[in-house]
Amino acid sequence: MTYSLSITGASADQHLDVKNVTVGDAAAGQVGSQLNAMQTGLSFLCKGPDGAQAYYRIDAERSATGSLILVKT
């Protein structure tokens, strides 16, 4: 898994202490990939601040351009 774009999103389960996770290139590397993942509810691998990887999906209702809210699956 590569994270060359370093696009980040906030984890939805962290209400007070927001922790950013890095979205992998597979979900954000191509034009339309984020939109497709948001529309279909696709889960993709992300890297947390501690380096651990987990699957997340984009919360379409709370996300905005440049500000992704991610839900751990």
23-50 pLDDT, tens digit each: 777 666 566 777 888 888 888 888 888 8
Per-residue 3-state assignment (H helix, E strand, C coil) for 29-67? CCCCHHHHHHHHCCCEEEECCCCCEEEEEECCCCCECCE
Place of tokens 């994270």: 3
**Domain enclosing residue 55, as ranges:** 7-72
Residue 1 lies in a domain: no
Q: Who wins on pLDDT, 5 or 33?
A: 33
HSE, CB side, 13 Å, CA atoms: give it for residue 14: 13
Residue 2 falls within a domain, yes or no?
A: no
Q: Distances from the Cα of 30 to the Cαs of 16, 25, 46, in angstroms?
A: 32, 8, 16
**In whole angstroms, how large is the CA radius of gyration of the chain?**
11
For the chain, the domain total comes to 1
Confidence of residue 14 (pLDDT cuts 50, 70, 90): low
